[in-house]
Structure 1
Amino acid sequence: MTGMADAALNDTSGTFSWGHAALETEFVTASDGTLRLVRLTRPDGSGDGVDAGDGVGPDGRVDPESALPLVELTAFGHGSGWSGPRFTGTALGNRLRHRGHRAGRAADREWLTVELHDEDTGLTAFVELTSPVGLSVLRSRVRLRNEGIEPLVVQSVSSLLLGGLPSPDALDVHRARNDWLAECRWYTEPLRATVADIHVGAHQHDSRAALALAGRGSWPTDGHLPMGALTERDGGRTWLWQIESPAGWRWDLGEHAGGTHLALNGPTDAEHQWRVRLAPGEEVTTVAGVLALGSGFDDAMGALTTYRRTARRPHPDHTALPVVFNDYMNTLMGDPTTAKLLPLIDAAAEAGAEYFCIDSGWYDDSADGGWWNSVGAWQPSSRRFPDGGLRAVLDRIKERGMVPGLWLEPEVIGVHSPLVAELPPDAFFQRDGVRLAEQGRHQLDLRHPAARAHLDKTVDRIVGDWGVGYLKLDYNIVVDPGTCGPEDIAPGAGLLGHAQAYLDWLSEVLDRYPGLVIENCASGGMRMDGASLAVSQLQSTSDQQDPLLYPPVSAAAPTAVPPEQGAVWAYPQPEFDDDLIAFTLGGALLGRVHLSGHLDRMSEHQLDLVKDALTVYKSIRPDLPDAVPFWPLGLPGWTDEWLALGMRAPGDGASYVLVWRRGGTDELRLPVRHVAGRQVHAEVLYPSAPAGGSALWDGDGLRVSLPRTPAVLLVRLTS
């Protein structure tokens, strides 16, 4: 069906194929009447493929009985066919029958919609598959419609379900811990470490065990990233996934029919208190699950990175990559005043910053800095900005050739704010009629028109009247499990509804102000999910204040966010020696430089080091919006003494390798496989005077010498 016009919806053939040159699929009706995905292949130039499972032939086609139905779901009165933590074998999933499908192409994306129907309840599931042409990436979501005569309370629905993967014996599973100040910490273990071999033949039953992972609350990436990967230990094939949920999510892996299954879900009743009541004629749509195929982890991550670029809202910031100075980190720390800001603004402009963002505290008129419990009005402090007010400071930023920015925490209202009484009770998160409070704040529900009107008025004042061109939108509380508004039957559904309404509101803001740049932040990287990244232009990667602890975060951040969106702090200080200044600056050069630090107190020599870093960054940033990441030393460990991150430009373009040394031996060899065996020129770009450091190409890899710690090198490889 590649490139075809829309097919008829009444096509009920039991076997059909769909895809494009980089992704091939095949669907077959199994003996129980359910439609199953039996082939998911990424062909390469030699004709071999990366397929969904062990297969029964050279084409990688899986036995239909080893595959799984396209959709699994549970509802009141319709649970699972067996008990256990795996999301397979549900009663409704086994009753859904293929009623038709259609396919076509929209822009550079192939799409397929498969219609499944249950005669008993009248429930219809529309499986909506898409794949960007040329990418080995599959995106899936499920839309449910109640076509019956009775209401149906749905408790869980799969977004993407895949069976027939290789045996757990052959697979390693990869997960990423994501904690405040310690984001993107990937770790690996054999799948058999969780899903034990129970000797299925002796029991005539699959193991009930599952490796399950779930995110909770209004910080969707608190604890773990909503991602995972399977790699084949011998063959190197990789299945890499993300769940595009701004609220709850769940995935699980288990043993099925001698192979492995993967189930991707949004929020569920069991984990997140999510459920919805579908009256006759009503619909609900799941969050999306995305799967990328590759011949190794780096290869699959390259495909997922490119997919993320196709899935997000277009914006000029994604190619311009301006340098942002933010006054917060290790600098003003939420205590801005006119007297403190003016010299910083001048120094940032001299160093080469292009945006200047005033972080938290600009609205605080209290004498003791106790603004936390009273925020919400977002009016500038007259105490902090006595001469000309905040507008005079914003004008100074513009006069120095930079775009002004402000920090905002739009979703919260302090419990002592007058807005608590001015806004209606239903504009806030609530449970059993009680307005929720968390850490001295109430949470707005962006589904309510009064909440949206309040934030629209705020943004129109800040952006429309004051001329602010950058908003850092933070979120520093977590609400779990959610809210039960008048239309909700469970708090998890209320939370997801609010989170999706919040992203809709952001899109409407960008429609009104298309040049506005929005940074997504939630105590650093606690909202680093695909749904949020598709709307915002930048993503905060961490609040980590120790420059020696930031490298493992910045080295692994491209697993969660494309480099041109990943904001990495660079906060050099006048008390740092030259090596530490270079170390903290160099670590941001393959992402988005978020400059901070007391530049106004630096010597001329120290400020020259900052200028040197920004000059290098501006020379390489045209390559970053199309580059894909790779990791010459593998994904970084939190305590690794040497770390490395690479960026590979398309085609025969340059590759960049950023190397950190925090200890250990002073020399190391880094394999760079995609240019191994070629004649390659290795050029140290930063620091311009690397204090005895060097990088030499030996024909297959890069030999790096860094005689002191801490040290960093940015190397460009051209062949």
Structure 2
Amino acid sequence: MPAVTRTTCAGRPAWLLRTARNAMLLSVADGGGLVLDHWGGDGGGLGDGLGGDSYLPHTPWNRPSQAHFLDGVPLAYSTYGDRVYKEPGLVVAREDGTSVSRLTWREDRIEDDVLTLVFEDAGLVVEHRFAVLADHGIVVRDVRVCNQGPSPLRVERVASAVLGLPPARYDSWTLHGRWGDEYQLTRRELAAGKVVIDSRRGFTSHEANPWFALTRAGEDGPVWFGALAWSGNWSIVFETERNDALHVVAGINPFDSAWHLEPGEDFRTPSLACGYTENGLDEAARVLHRYQRDHVLPARHRHTPPPVHYNTWLATAFDVEVEHQIALATQAAELGVELFVVDDGWFGARNDDHAGLGDWTVDPAKFPRGLDQLVDEVHRLGMRFGIWLEPEMVNPDSDLFRAHPDWVLHLPDREPTMSRNQLVLNFAREDVREGVLSRLRALLTDHRIDFVKWDHNRPYTEVGWPQAPHERRREVWVRHVRGVYEVIGRLRAEFPDLMIETCAGGGGRVDLGILGLTDMAQVSDNTDPGDRLRMQHGFSRAYAPRAMVGWVADTPEPTTGRITPLDFRFHVAMQGVLGISGDILRWSEDDRKQARELITEYKRLRPTIQDGDQHWLVVPSDNEPCAVQYVSRDCRVAVVFVYQVRGVAGEGPRRIRLRGLDADRLYRRDSDGVVTTGAALMAVGLSSAFPPPPPPGHTEDWRSRVELWQAVEETR
């Protein structure tokens, strides 16, 4: 059956979108509203098969005269001007000051599993796009607003998507936190009224993330979920109506933002990837992971495993010196590292965070023979070479700012607010984009740089663009983000083999927008493995393990001061893309030997970890066992990490049941040759117990192990 078909629903024009996992049924209500008649499981009888019955809930009216109002009806979009009082997805102001639009359906277009529905009102044309990825169970939505009238329009709000669910009690699942404590999975019971999660900081933020999941209250069965591809201000509104129908509006945050449309101009929103599964949050995460691996992450490196990397920050901070860097690189290569990354401090007058940002030229005092002395040595050692950049920022104490003080986001009558002694360059301006691009292009052309860590260390304040025409000034929030995307995209086109990591003070900028341009993402500046277990669990509800960077740092941990074993730190960092920092020159020979063995082990497990399906068998907690499993796409290989976090005396071992295996196949454990069936591993499972710790001085705290199970040729 095709992914998109025309049909009818209760006599109204309708469209059925089908994937391997679910279906959406859309229709046009009397008067032009776009209705989401159904979003969920596909029983095979949607549309005409209902014999004219409607999926719409029978909503009690406030009074009979409001019979044609759409309150309480699940909508696929809401416009200010509809017969409805719920959160609007679209608000457009006209030249006469009015902002009421009454859209009517004009036409549909179906091409290559993409449905476009076109609505109009007196020169305002709105196109809703639904791209169906049938094999992945994902529908990607966006909206295009066009001005085909004779006068300018001002788009004051345009959401990427509106999603309506029928009356029930719902829980929302979202990701919240702060610097050093990002990606905490948060459940909230939705009651009457609105719940808003958003960012107004200019970028995705540490405090919240533009991903959500919805379940029926208290259940972990059916899940509706979505992830927004936008790295600027964003907003997701959950509104529970009087009949318990749920109305969700997701897109660019309308805070302080508007878009001017001259006749003939248009505006397209970022996309929202949305899906449904019957099998809980863990399965919803795997659906998103597969979608990202196959359709979001940059195609150039999509099928190449991200390298094991070493980053110099925790070993040197700003104290960069070429001979010391070469010594670190030599040791990193001996450990089996594949990529050596020089972090902050290599450029300009950069001896601390007060100066140098924007001056992307090599400091001759730190590299008297030029950067290539280090670059060439890293390549000779068999590793790739990477470097740290923060291209969107500038220190006032820099040659760039002294030459172009007007290049920053600013207001002429306001004192700028410093954060980390830096200001934000205005990427809405073409001259800023071209100036930054020329400096980065020169750096990448003059040196064989294989990898860039692209950082971003402050929120935005005094967000002004005084050089722009008055009617365009509130476009700066959106144009800045688009400008960042443009610069990264042009760099990738000019240097196609370049790999890029997104970092924003740790995990402050991760979303489907930036992941479409970068290969991996930092989760947090906090490297404490106990804290990272919780953060990585939350991160992986929304984002694929192959994009998740983990760091093995020194102990005591730089952020928390906690002491943890080296193998525990490695096993936590091995859940995604393995990175190492810290002063490896000070590690003991025993630690180096263990690190070499663990890196070798990780490389063997890496294909399954980065390209397989992830299952959280036991979620992290403060003092109990935790386990996560990865299964290859063909179900022949399983990798299981088991952790004991801050063990408590007297607690007995738990059974950890595996998932996603072939029940009829035999599997052999790599460590001891034990053979058992997939059915037994899923029904009985493994023990969380660890052998007694070797003396002296060891405790049951912070224990971990990794098990590799591989299918054998025989079956039961």
TM-score (norm 1): 0.84
Matched residue of 1:154: which SS? Answer: strand
CA contact (8 A) 2:657 2:683 kept: no
What letter is aligned with 1:705?
A
CA contact (8 A) 1:697 1:703 kept: no
Counterpart residue number, 2:589: 604
1:645 paired with 2:628, answer: yes
Counterpart residue number, 2:618: 633
1:464 paired with 2:445, answer: yes
Distance 1:406 1:618 in 2: 23
Counterpart residue number, 2:24: 25
Residues 18 and 365 (structure 1), Cα distance of their counterparts in 2 relative to 1, 3 Å cut: closer
Residues 673 and 537 (structure 1), Cα distance of their counterparts in 2 relative to 1, 3 Å cut: closer
Distance 1:163 1:577 in 2: 46
Counterpart residue number, 2:599: 614
Distance 1:701 1:553 in 2: 25
Residues 383 and 250 (structure 1), Cα distance of their counterparts in 2 relative to 1, 3 Å cut: same
* % identity of equivalent residues: 22
Distance 2:55 2:292 in 1: 28
What letter is aligned with 2:576?
G
What letter is aligned with 1:445?
N
| 1:72 paired residue among 60, 78, 83 | 78
CA contact (8 A) 1:139 1:289 kept: yes
Distance 2:151 2:23 in 1: 39
1:28-67 correspondence to structure 2 within 5 Å: 28-43=27-42, 47=43, 61-63=55-57, 67=73
1:2 paired with 2:2, answer: yes
CA deviations 1:351-380 (Å, max 9, x no partner) are 0001100000112546xx344333211222
Residues 186 and 323 (structure 1), Cα distance of their counterparts in 2 relative to 1, 3 Å cut: same
Distance 1:41 1:60 in 2: 15
CA contact (8 A) 1:554 1:588 kept: no
| 1:277 paired residue among 235, 254, 260 | 260
Distance 1:60 1:519 in 2: 48
CA shift for structure 1 position 455: 2.1
CA-atom RMSD, angstroms? 3.4
1:582 paired with 2:593, answer: no
1:216-255 correspondence to structure 2 within 5 Å: 216-232=200-216, 233-234=218-219, 236-255=221-240
Structure 1 residues not aligned, in runs of 5+: 197-208, 689-695
Distance 1:521 1:318 in 2: 22
1:162 paired with 2:151, answer: no
Residues 225 and 642 (structure 1), Cα distance of their counterparts in 2 relative to 1, 3 Å cut: farther
What letter is aligned with 1:455?
V
CA shift for structure 1 position 642: 3.1
1:439-588 correspondence to structure 2 within 5 Å: 439=419, 440-480=421-461, 482-485=463-466, 486-487=468-469, 489=471, 493-572=475-554, 580-588=565-573
CA contact (8 A) 2:638 2:709 kept: yes
TM-score (norm 2): 0.85
CA contact (8 A) 1:574 1:603 kept: no
Residues 488 and 362 (structure 1), Cα distance of their counterparts in 2 relative to 1, 3 Å cut: farther
What letter is aligned with 1:247?
G
What letter is aligned with 2:449?
V
CA shift for structure 1 position 521: 0.6
Counterpart residue number, 1:716: 708
Counterpart residue number, 1:691: none
CA contact (8 A) 1:438 1:479 kept: no
Counterpart residue number, 1:438: 418
Task: Point out the more displaced range, 435-444 or 241-250.
Answer: 435-444
Distance 2:83 2:683 in 1: 57
Residues 589 and 182 (structure 1), Cα distance of their counterparts in 2 relative to 1, 3 Å cut: same
1:657-672 correspondence to structure 2 within 5 Å: 657-663=640-646, 664=648, 665=651, 667-672=653-658
What letter is aligned with 1:423?
H
Residues 57 and 601 (structure 1), Cα distance of their counterparts in 2 relative to 1, 3 Å cut: farther
CA contact (8 A) 1:246 1:531 kept: yes
Task: Point out the more displaced range, 475-484 or 519-528.
Answer: 475-484
Distance 1:255 1:477 in 2: 34
What letter is aligned with 1:421?
R
Distance 2:399 2:90 in 1: 52
Matched residue of 2:187: which SS? Answer: strand
Residues 615 and 528 (structure 1), Cα distance of their counterparts in 2 relative to 1, 3 Å cut: same
Distance 1:631 1:59 in 2: 41
CA shift for structure 1 position 288: 1.6
1:141-156 correspondence to structure 2 within 5 Å: 141-156=142-157
| 2:637 paired residue among 636, 643, 654 | 654
What letter is aligned with 1:117?
E
Residues 59 and 487 (structure 1), Cα distance of their counterparts in 2 relative to 1, 3 Å cut: farther
Residues 684 and 718 (structure 1), Cα distance of their counterparts in 2 relative to 1, 3 Å cut: closer
CA shift for structure 1 position 585: 0.9
Residues 255 and 57 (structure 1), Cα distance of their counterparts in 2 relative to 1, 3 Å cut: farther
Distance 1:625 1:715 in 2: 16
Distance 1:127 1:698 in 2: 43
Residues 24 and 93 (structure 1), Cα distance of their counterparts in 2 relative to 1, 3 Å cut: farther
CA contact (8 A) 1:71 1:157 kept: no
Distance 1:18 1:698 in 2: 34
Matched residue of 1:389: which SS? Answer: coil
Counterpart residue number, 1:175: 174
1:429 paired with 2:440, answer: no
CA deviations 1:596-628 (Å, max 9, x no partner) are 222222333221111111111111212234323
Matched residue of 1:567: which SS? Answer: strand
Task: Point out the more displaced range, 480-489 or 179-188.
Answer: 480-489
Residues 682 and 436 (structure 1), Cα distance of their counterparts in 2 relative to 1, 3 Å cut: farther
1:101 paired with 2:108, answer: yes
Residues 117 and 246 (structure 1), Cα distance of their counterparts in 2 relative to 1, 3 Å cut: same
CA shift for structure 1 position 333: 2.4
Structure 2 residues not aligned, in runs of 5+: 59-69, 93-98, 673-679, 693-699, 712-716
CA deviations 1:184-224 (Å, max 9, x no partner) are 10021322xxx24xxxxxxxxxxxx1122111222313211
CA shift for structure 1 position 274: 1.0
Distance 1:332 1:71 in 2: 52
1:322 paired with 2:316, answer: no
Residues 614 and 186 (structure 1), Cα distance of their counterparts in 2 relative to 1, 3 Å cut: same
CA deviations 1:227-271 (Å, max 9, x no partner) are 1111124471001111211111111222236343232332343xx
Counterpart residue number, 2:125: 124
CA contact (8 A) 2:34 2:78 kept: no
Distance 1:188 1:515 in 2: 41
CA contact (8 A) 1:365 1:384 kept: no
Residues 422 and 94 (structure 1), Cα distance of their counterparts in 2 relative to 1, 3 Å cut: closer
Counterpart residue number, 1:203: none
Counterpart residue number, 1:340: 324
CA shift for structure 1 position 347: 0.7
CA contact (8 A) 1:72 1:87 kept: yes
Distance 2:206 2:249 in 1: 18
Matched residue of 1:363: which SS? Answer: coil
CA contact (8 A) 1:437 1:443 kept: no
CA shift for structure 1 position 322: 1.2
What letter is aligned with 1:114?
L
What letter is aligned with 1:431?
L
Distance 2:348 2:706 in 1: 41
Matched residue of 1:518: which SS? Answer: strand
Matched residue of 2:359: which SS? Answer: coil
CA shift for structure 1 position 436: 4.6
